[in-house]
Homo-oligomer: A and B are copies of this chain.
Amino acid sequence: MQQLLWINGKREESQAYKSLKSPYNEEIIADVAQSSAEDVTNAIDAAAEAAKEMRAMPAHKRADILEKVVALLKQDRIECAKIISREAAKPIKAAITEVDRTIMTYQFAAQEARRIYGETIPMDGAPGGEGRVAYTVREPLGVIGAITPFNFPMNLVAHKVGPAIAAGNAVVLKPASQTPLSSYKIAEYFHEAGLPSGALNVVTGSGSEVGDVLINDERISMITFTGSPEVGKSIRENAGLKKVTLELGSNSAVVIDEHTNIEKIVPRIAAGAFAFQGQVCISVQRIFVHESVFKPFVERFVEEAKKLKIGDPLDEQTDISALISKGDVERAQSWIDEAIESGAELALGGKSTDGVLHPTILLNVGLTERISCEEAFAPVVHINAFNDFNTALEWVNDSKYGLQAGVFTNDLQKGFKAAKDLHVGGVMINDFPTFRVDHMPYGGVKQSGTGREGIKYAIEEMTEMKLVSFHIN
């Protein structure tokens, strides 16, 4: 199968193609078009033109288009999950969950499209402001460049394309090199749903080349990026006065206080650690357990992790499959080895077979080890014991990242203390840090990013406020 570009409502040939291989079995899935700078510019041309039509389109029509995309996704739910599963090696169970969340995300986008309120401003609150009727409106930015990661090839695209279209923008989308097919599929759904040609374009190719064109073109008003901190920072530094939203990485932590019901929480934390091989921005990476429950927690956690079935992502029994690339297996393996050398105890896993890194549990890892302080993005967690709750909170905060954190406690004062002191975008009391519903505000502090997603919040980022004042005699 040859995957062409999607520009201005049509499939377009490119000058070069590259084989897309399954991360799991290296089978070739498709030959994917590699955009030239000219292709990208063509996509921006189309988007700039379509942006005018989008800006003039009433909200209820934008909502209708998004609702039709929802209907198409519902209809093709399993097919879509298979696309994800195949290109990302995401276990099919998880892929189906992702499609269901994608549906929800576009539903919220359809609904928020009808809800772009502004405010009337009481100008007469200050001397000199008398006799005005003044109000704000939120106007679309125009063309938005969206750069998306491999780990949720549909839902993280939805979190950019959904609000962008809802707000009346046009989009040029560059999906991750390993997961282009989900994006091309979505583009077709939008086309079928009646989105004007050019309002959503998909271009694939090397990140640096395609991305550079997006970042430099003056007609693009905003870059919305989810991916690594390094690339994110570079985008921010090269994007001039463009708006930039960055959802970057994390090494999310969970704190488990004394008196916590271990039995009840272990399955959820294990899910947070190993779902999609840990390749989730808010995957559980660091577990801090009160010393009084450390031993039983580790036992139950290892037990739970042992249940995970490794295998073909398309197999419904599979819990764990291949990492997105062999390089990532090697990277994770080396970080694990480093930690063990430095004295960490290996409680499970720590090795890979056929390119699949086994669920790995380390105990008492030094907090300056890379497996603790860098983003692992692999099925690896470490569990450390603490004896003072405040110390555990400090450990969580001792990170360059700050996306989400989880805390299990039934002590009311401790719960609110954690809510106050943890320096992250989201604190989940009595839940894992991996918790996300698609309408909540989501985003990080420190090097975890800037800006917020969650449809309503993303729409704010993807519009600009205009003040209008009428002076009345």
Chain A residues with CB under 8 Å of chain B are 58-60, 63, 104, 108, 111, 113-130, 132-137, 232-233, 236-238, 240-241, 243, 246, 409-413, 415-417, 419-420, 424-431, 435, 437-443, 445-447, 449-450, 452, 464-473
Q: Contacts A412-B409, A473-B413 hold; do A429 and B468 have CB atoms under 8 A apart?
A: yes
A238 to B416, CA, bound (A): 37
- In whole Å, how far is A196's beta carbon from the nearest beta carbon of chain B? 16
Q: Which of B132, B416, B440 contacts A472 (CB 8 A)?
A: B416
Pairwise interchain contact A472-B114, C-beta atoms closer than 8 A? no
A233 to B242, CA, bound (A): 10
**Which B residues are CB-close (under 8 A) to A427?**
466-469
A117 to B127, CA, bound (A): 17
Pairwise interchain contact B122-A117, C-beta atoms closer than 8 A? yes
Pairwise interchain contact B467-A425, C-beta atoms closer than 8 A? yes
Pairwise interchain contact B125-A115, C-beta atoms closer than 8 A? yes
**Which B residues are CB-close (under 8 A) to A122?**
59, 114-117
Pairwise interchain contact A447-B126, C-beta atoms closer than 8 A? no
- In whole Å, how far is A1's beta carbon from the nearest beta carbon of chain B? 34
**Which B residues are CB-close (under 8 A) to A59?**
122, 124-125
**Which B residues are CB-close (under 8 A) to A236?**
240-241
Subset of 27 A-B contacts with CB under 8 Å: A60-B127, A113-B125, A114-B439, A116-B122, A121-B441, A123-B437, A129-B437, A129-B440, A133-B416, A233-B240, A236-B241, A241-B246, A241-B446, A241-B447, A411-B411, A411-B412, A415-B470, A425-B465, A425-B466, A426-B467, A428-B469, A428-B471, A429-B468, A431-B469, A440-B469, A441-B465, A445-B466
**Which B residues are CB-close (under 8 A) to A473?**
413
Q: Which of B120, B243, B438 contacts A137 (CB 8 A)?
A: B120
Pairwise interchain contact B464-A420, C-beta atoms closer than 8 A? no
Q: Which of B127, B445, B471 contacts A431 (CB 8 A)?
A: B471
Pairwise interchain contact B123-A120, C-beta atoms closer than 8 A? no
Pairwise interchain contact A119-B121, C-beta atoms closer than 8 A? no
Q: Which of B237, B243, B412, B443 contacts A470 (CB 8 A)?
A: B412
Pairwise interchain contact A466-B241, C-beta atoms closer than 8 A? no
Pairwise interchain contact B124-A58, C-beta atoms closer than 8 A? yes
A470 to B470, CA, bound (A): 13
**Which B residues are CB-close (under 8 A) to A241?**
232-233, 236, 246, 446-447, 449-450
Which residue of B is nearest A111, CB measured? B111
Pairwise interchain contact B60-A429, C-beta atoms closer than 8 A? no
